[in-house]
Amino acid sequence: MVVANIIQAVNMALKQEMQRDSKVVVLGEDVGVNGGVFRATDGLYKEFPGRVFDTPLAELGIVGTSVGMAVNGLKPIAEIQFSGFMYGPFDQIFSHAARIRMRSRGRFTCPLVIRTPYGGGIRALELHGESGEAIFAHTPGLKMVVPSNPYDAKGLLASAIRDPDPVIFYEPMRIYRAIKQDIPEKEYLIPIGKANIVQEGNDLTLIAWGASLKMCKDLLEEMKGRYSVELIDLRTISPYDRETVINSVKKTGRCVIVHEAIQTCGFAAELIAAINEDAMLSLHGPVVRVTSPDVPFPLYRLENDFLPSMARIKKGIEKVMEF
């Protein structure tokens, strides 16, 4: 075991998979000599000569050429420095990466991982804080993964790299270094598509992912067992673990969903639709979602007002419990 934060866990997974499979290459802005602006790729450039590329400053080029590499025998791991820069190459992701297997009837595949830091709360510049997971979940042919802790980050990233299809890997920037955990040095995999029941409970199901998960955990600690809450870390947004969500809501009859993304068409909407379809008769009250409002992400002096807070999550829990 070794103590690691999320960024170190990402680095360990990259290193491990590059050692394991010579087809894996890493490319992106500043990922080589500099080791990445967050140090996620630290040391890889030296350890794997000719397999780690500092690219020109061009996100479309990074993703577009990664698609070409993926169809011609490599397993590229592209880093987009901040998730706010994913929209330039979105055409490449939506129109090509996600459709190659289907359009070629399986003759070509696109085993590509796009890693990108996402989320608010660190007083960053404009377009550095958004949560766009629902946009990618709304793109058929993509997988969308969001770890919330070092252990999951390592195991999920290894699975993403071994996955035969394109995976968007969202790294919660706010908690990159906030959580330290003992994690195994040797390889292990966490399957894509499986949620994690972080704590079991009977009164209420609380669902979150990424940086919001830590906030929920901290809140539950603060509330000191006032309610018996089942906390679910969704971990994979697409394809998400419907079964775990439904079974939990059937048991508790109450549900609160937290995400940093804006409300309308946020992923909570999809979860609520699934609960409506499969667990409606178990509900004691409406499902509550605690999200950001439908406005552009503000500059940082207002970001804590914009993002879900522990106080707002607590209010959401109380609303459901007191219904």
Q: Which residues bind another protein (CB under 8 A)?
A: 25, 50-51, 53, 55-56, 58, 60-61, 63-74, 76, 91-92, 95-96, 100-109, 140-141, 143, 164-165, 193, 239, 242-243
Q: Which is nearer to another protein, 2 or 58 (CB)?
A: 58
Write out the DSSP string of 108-158. S----EEEEEE-S-S---TTSS---HHHHHTSTT-EEE---SHHHHHHHHH
Catalytic residue among 128, 138, 259, 284: 128
Three-class SS of residue 262?
strand
**Helices (H), strands (E): how many in the chain?**
12, 14
State in angstroms the smallest separation of the CB of 140 from another protein: 6
For another protein, which is the closer residue by CB, 14 or 63? 63
DSSP annotation of 92 reads I
Helix (H) or strand (E) segment spanning residue 54:
strand 52-54
The least distance separating another protein from the CB of residue 137, rounded to whole angstroms, comes to 11
Q: Is 128 a catalytic residue?
A: yes
**Residue 184, both tokens:** 């195994």
Of 237, 239, 310, the closest CA to residue 267 belongs to: 237
Minimal distance, residue 23 CB to another protein, in Å = 8
Q: Least Å distance between CB 175 and another protein? A: 28
Closer residue to another protein in complex, CB, 191/286 = 191
Helices (H), the chain: 6-20, 44-47, 59-71, 90-91, 100-103, 133-137, 150-162, 211-223, 242-252, 267-278, 303-306, 310-321
Residue pair 245/235 in contact (Cβ under 8 Å)? The answer is no
**Distance of closest approach, residue 317 Cβ to another protein, in angstroms:** 28
Question: Which residue from 77, 61, 84 is spatially nearest to 167, judged by alpha carbons?
Answer: 77
* Catalytic positions: 128
